[in-house]
Amino acid sequence: MTDILTAIAERRAAKRFDPTVVIPDHELRAILDAGRQAPTAFNIQHWRFVVISDPELRKEIRAASWNQPQVEEASALIVLCADVKAWAKNPARYWAAAPEKMQTSYASMIEKVYTGNEQFQRDEGIRSAGMAAYALMLAAAAHGYQSCPMDGFDFEAVGKLINLPDDHEIVMFVAIGKNAAEYPPHGGQLPLEETVIENRFS
Ligand SMILES: Cc1cc2nc3c(=O)[nH]c(=O)nc-3n(C[C@H](O)[C@H](O)[C@H](O)COP(=O)(O)O)c2cc1C
């Protein structure tokens, strides 16, 4: 197991994967389970992880992804989706493990906050799935795999291929496997001074 700061510092987006590598089921399950533990607003857990195991479907998705090889070569391809209406689907169940009073109070807050606010509903789903994406990537690293976050694809075409429900959005892919090529030169990071703002923008 790689420690978390090393995994963060050493992670790179893999451009090619070894297509012969099979991730054992128990390991893939552990990686997906780590994604499931990511935080979400009001614990709504909007994310849905579509694992593309069918090789024919992978081919079709690759064709809709500007032919990017990771889509087919990755040992696991996860299409992260957001159920943007999850907030309205029996919200008390997101607090099922908490005392009944909390369940009722959260269900009512959820309804108040999301009702009629379509943009916010969508934004929250995207935010949550983004959290899960990085959790999946770090969990993959902990298990000795590399990953690539991806949004270079035709969202509408991929939605059709996976039968995306009307009230869901595709957020991104996370491709996981064993890196099989030298990483391309890195673009570099902006300095911390430009990234971090104290108190207010000037
Ligand atoms: C939302 C998102 C979408 C991305 N889409 C792609 C993609 O479609 N194909 C690809 O090869 N890399 C993709 N990347 C990887 C970025 O190019 C890469 O993370 C960035 O250049 C920084 O490099 P590093 O991850 O190796 O540090 C994506 C990254 C993010 C966060």
Alpha-carbon separation of residue 202 from 26, 108, 194, 198, 199 (angstroms): 50, 39, 12, 10, 9
CA distance linking residue 152 with residue 18, whole number of Å: 20
Could you tell me if residue 198 is inside a domain? Answer: no
Residue 200 lies in a domain: no
Protein residues with CB under 6 Å of any ligand 1 atom: 12-13, 15, 68, 148-152, 172, 186-187
In a domain, 194, yes or no: no
The answer to the question of residue 188 being in a domain is: no
Residue 45 within any structural domain of the chain: yes
- CATH number of residue 29's parent domain: 3.40.109.10
Amino acid letter at 192?
A: L
What is the C-alpha to C-alpha distance for residues 18 and 107, in angstroms, rounded to an integer? Answer: 46
Residue nearest to atom 27 of ligand 1 (CA): 12
Q: What is the DSSP letter of 13?
A: B
pLDDT given for residue 3 in this prediction: 87
186 inside domain: no
Q: Mind giving me the DSSP string for 144-183? A: T-EEEEE--S-HHHHHHHTT--TTEEEEEEEEEE-B-SPP
Q: Give the number of domains in the chain.
A: 1
Tokens read off for 80: 């992260």
pLDDT, residue 2, reads 67
Residue 147 lies in a domain: yes
Instruction: Sort strands 76-83 and 146-150 into parallel, antiparallel or unpaired.
Output: unpaired
Rounded to whole angstroms, the Cα distance separating 32 from 34 reads 5
Count of residues making up the chain? 202
113 CA from centroid of ligand 1 (Å): 33
Beta carbons of 35 and 167 less than 8 angstroms apart: no
Task: Return averaged pLDDT per consecutive 10 residues of the chain, 202 residues in all.
Answer: 87 98 98 97 96 98 98 98 98 96 96 97 97 98 97 98 98 98 96 97 94
Q: State which residues form the domain around 51.
A: 4-181
- For ligand 1, what atom is nearest to the CA of residue 70? 11
In DSSP terms, 17 is beta-bridged to: 179
Tokens found for residue 166: 């009307």
Q: What is the pLDDT of residue 1?
A: 63
Dihedrals φ, ψ of 79, to 5°? -95, 110
The tally of CA atoms less than 13 A away on the side-chain side of residue 61 is 30
What's this model's pTM, rounded to 2 decimal places?
0.97
How many angstroms separate the most distant Cα atoms in the chain? 54
- Closest ligand 1 atom number to CA of residue 183: 26
Domain membership flag for residue 195:
no
Residue ID of nearest Cα to ligand 1 atom 30: 149
